[in-house]
Amino acid sequence: MEMVFSLAAVSFAVVFLVCLWRVLNWAWFRPRKLQKCLRKQGLKGNEYKFIFGDLKQLTKTTKEAKSKPMNLSHDISPRLLPFFIDAIQRNGENSFVWLGPNPMVLIKEPGLIRDILTKNTIYHKPFTNPLIKLLAEGIATYEEDKWSKHRRIINPAFHMEKLKHMVPAFYMSCVEMLGNLEKKMGDQGLAEVDVWPHLQQIGGDAISRTAFGSNYEEGRKIFELQKEQAQHKTELMRSIYIPGWRFLPTWRNRRMKKIEKQVQALIRCIIDKRVKAMEAGEGSKDDLLGILLESNFNEIEKHGNKDFGITTREVIEECKLFYFVGQETTSVLLVWTMVLLGRHQEWQTRAREEVFRLFGKDKPDIDGLNHMKIVTMILNESLRLYTPVISLTRKNKEETRLGDLMLPPGVLISIPVILNHHDEKIWGDDAKEFNPERFSEGVSKATKGQLTFLPFGGGPRICLGLNFAMLEAKLVIAMILQRYSFELSPSYAHAPTSTVSLQPQYGAPLLFRKL
């Protein structure tokens, strides 16, 4: 018996020492080793602080910046990335910061950005906290072979030929939003309206119709749950993830897992109905889910093996992405475009003249939308000044040479998109001004062929929904300009805030006048 107890004690001691070593290595030895390696290569950064790194200062400066609105200026980087801007000013552009025990190297040089975004087999998207994936996995989080398979199956849903069949769904969603706007108009055809919730609704309605053929009301529960999940994700990204923490029954852990189960069940119900209909002989529909299911079926049939397709669980994850990203990207693009046109009346006039020249007061059609040059220039400039995602993060999975740097495996790399979008060395002296004319000859000419315009990412992993978002935004802007003129309300408070995407912290009240 004593021998059994002795063996148990030894086993416990060994397990304890192994766990202790892993914790100490994660919290102290590895960060110190990485710090020494980065400094040897000429990179500057703060001295590593046990476990927290720079997170306390980062959180403090971000909270201070969000505590009040800013002046009505497009120079929004100091409000969004105050800690990172301060780090660059102190340590130079070749520097690093600490996200807990993980060093993050800041990369702004366009040539290096191209290397990072095009070599997607080397630089992966990091998810240090597994709970973050509960918002949505899918093609946004997969890597290498699994990513390639999903990309191949999903691609057909976003071909322009398929998207043009979704214009009627965009149109119906916009008609409903404009009907709600009309109800707010007084006898004089004038009203102050916070367009932000309306644009969120139209984004949600449009993605519900185009993804599943349902309307916004049927998708409302999924949107509400995904919106709450996104808030939890934002909080998690600002905190340190301790390995194993996700298994503890904290309130947030339990809530995020409960939301995940509810969203899974709601979307599975939609998919099961569609699959039964297809098995009963109904043709696949021209919505995103129908195209995805048909593409998946064709891929399996082509190879005669289910392994070449994606599972029902994976279809659900892709649908969660449709729901969340589809609504989020378009609504934030639209709200900042409306704010910009409300402030810059001369461009609103030019855009309206183009809309009337192409459509008059008729329903916008796909051919006209594809010939909207002025509106496209305005949308691109809006994406430049108010990019939906203000930074991109990658992580090298092996020792990698990046320019003059030799990065040890597992280093976080940050591409501060908003800083590049506002960089005078790239865009000229008016980089922080609204000037759609810079895109008059297209994005490639404006960027001189460099990878410096990244509202939808870049390289092989560029967002599949780019054309989807731009087409919907063009239609909505055209229909609003046909009916109303608008300007910023005196009650508008300029406060761009980055949650999962760049949003107006206090909404976007505009003064609308019927034409």
Greatest alpha-carbon span in the chain: 93
Residue 2 has, within 13 A of its CA and on its CB side, a CA count of: 0
> pLDDT at residue 105 above 60?
yes
Q: In this predicted structure, what is the pLDDT of residue 135?
A: 66
Mean pLDDT score, 154-179: 83
Contact 107, 407 (CB under 8 A): no
Other Cβ atoms closer than 10 A to 377:
23
Cross-strand pairs, 147: none
The percentage of the chain sitting over the pLDDT mark of 90, rounded to a whole number, equals 43
> pLDDT at residue 335 above 60?
yes
Summarize pLDDT for 229-288 with one digit per residue, the tens: 777 777 776 666 666 666 677 888 888 888 888 888 888 887 787 777 777 766 556 677
Name the pTM for this structure: 0.89
Q: In this predicted structure, what is the pLDDT of residue 68?
A: 92
Torsion of CA 166, 167, 173, 176, to 10 degrees: -150
Print burial letters for 177-193: b (CB count within 10 Å at least 16), e (below 16): bbeebeeeeeeeeebeb
Measured N-to-C along each axis, helices 144-154 and 312-343 cross at an angle, to the nearest 10 degrees, of 70
Other Cβ atoms closer than 10 A to 365:
14
Contact 379, 333 (CB under 8 A): yes
Strand, coil or helix: 281: coil
Q: In this predicted structure, what is the pLDDT of residue 215?
A: 57
Mean pLDDT score, 63-79: 93
Summarize pLDDT for 431-460 with one digit per residue, the tens: 999 999 999 999 989 998 889 999 999 888
> pLDDT at residue 376 above 90?
yes
SS3 breakdown of the chain: % helix, strand, coil, rounded to 5? 60, 10, 30
Contact 16, 24 (CB under 8 A): no
> pLDDT at residue 199 above 70?
yes
> pLDDT at residue 130 above 70?
no
The CA R_g of the chain, rounded to the nearest whole Å, is 25
